[in-house]
Chains A and B, each alone.
Chain A
Amino acid sequence: MVESETLLEARNLRKYFDVKGSGGRKHPNLLKAVDGVSFSVSKGETLGIVGESGCGKSTTGRMLLRLIEPTAGQILFEGRDLTQLSQREMRKQRRHIQMVFQNPLASLNPRRTVGELLEQPLKVHRMGNVSERKQRVMALLKTVGLNETAYGRYPHQFSGGQRQRIAIARALAVTPKLIVADEPVSALDVSVQAQILNLLKDLQEAYQLTYLFISHDLGVVRHISDRVAVMYLGRIVEIASTEDLYNDPKHPYTQALISTVPIPDPEYSGERVLLQGDIPSASEPPSGCPFHTRCPLAMEACKTVVPRLQESEADHFVSCHLYHKVEA
Chain B
Amino acid sequence: MTGTILEVSQLKTSFFTENGEVPAVSDVTFRLEKGEILGVVGESGCGKSVTSLSIMGLVEQPGKVVGGHIAFKGEDLTQASAKKMRQIRGNDIAMIYQDPMSALNPVHTIGAQLMECLGLHHKATRKSARRQAIECLERVGLPQAEQLMHYYPHQLSGGMCQRVMIAMAMICEPEVLIADEPTTALDVTIQAQILELMKTLNREFNTSIIFITHDLGVVAEICDRVLVMYNGRVVEQGTIHTLFKAPKHPYTKGLIQSVPDVREKKQRLYSIPGMVPSPGEIKKGCPFAPRCERALAQCYEIEPPFIKYENGDAVRCLLYEAEKKEVTTHGRIGDFTRSPQPKKVF
Show the binding face of A for B, using Cβ within 8 Å: 52-53, 159-162, 189-195, 197-198, 201, 216-220, 222-223, 242-243, 246, 256-258, 260-268, 272, 274-275, 278-279
Show the binding face of B for A, using Cβ within 8 Å: 43-44, 157, 159-160, 187-193, 195-196, 214-221, 240-241, 244-245, 254-256, 258-263, 265-266, 268-272, 275-276
B240 contacts which of A220, A243, A266 (Cβ < 8 Å)? A266
Shortest distance between the CB of A97 and any CB in chain B (Å): 26
Asked, given contacts A189-B214, A263-B217, whether A219 binds B193 with beta carbons under 8 Å apart, the answer is: no
Asked, given contacts A223-B260, A278-B160, whether A260 binds B217 with beta carbons under 8 Å apart, the answer is: no
Query: Shortest 9 CB-CB distances between A and B: which pairs?
Result: A262-B217, A194-B271, A189-B43, A52-B187, A194-B258, A260-B192, A219-B260, A223-B260, A264-B216
- On whether the beta carbons of A265 and B218 are closer than 8 Å, the reply is no
Shortest distance between the CB of A104 and any CB in chain B (Å): 14
- On whether the beta carbons of A52 and B265 are closer than 8 Å, the reply is no
Distance A278 CA – B269 CA, assembled complex (angstroms): 33
- On whether the beta carbons of A192 and B275 are closer than 8 Å, the reply is yes
- On whether the beta carbons of A260 and B219 are closer than 8 Å, the reply is no
- On whether the beta carbons of A223 and B266 are closer than 8 Å, the reply is yes
Residue of A nearest to B241 (CB): A266
- On whether the beta carbons of B44 and A219 are closer than 8 Å, the reply is no
Distance A90 CA – B193 CA, assembled complex (angstroms): 44
Distance A291 CA – B279 CA, assembled complex (angstroms): 46
Distance A93 CA – B309 CA, assembled complex (angstroms): 62
A223 contacts which of B192, B269, B276 (Cβ < 8 Å)? B269
Distance A197 CA – B241 CA, assembled complex (angstroms): 28
Distance A266 CA – B246 CA, assembled complex (angstroms): 12
- On whether the beta carbons of A262 and B215 are closer than 8 Å, the reply is yes
Residue of A nearest to B258 (CB): A194
- On whether the beta carbons of A262 and B159 are closer than 8 Å, the reply is no
Distance A258 CA – B276 CA, assembled complex (angstroms): 30
| Residues in B neighbouring A219, C-beta threshold 8 A | 217, 259-262
| Residues in A neighbouring B192, C-beta threshold 8 A | 260, 262, 272, 274-275
Shortest distance between the CB of A114 and any CB in chain B (Å): 17
Asked, given contacts A216-B188, A219-B260, A278-B157, whether A262 binds B220 with beta carbons under 8 Å apart, the answer is: yes
- On whether the beta carbons of B265 and A223 are closer than 8 Å, the reply is yes
19 A-B interface contacts by CB (under 8 A): A191-B258, A194-B260, A194-B270, A216-B187, A217-B260, A219-B261, A222-B265, A223-B261, A223-B266, A242-B265, A260-B189, A260-B191, A262-B220, A264-B220, A266-B240, A267-B244, A268-B220, A278-B160, A278-B190
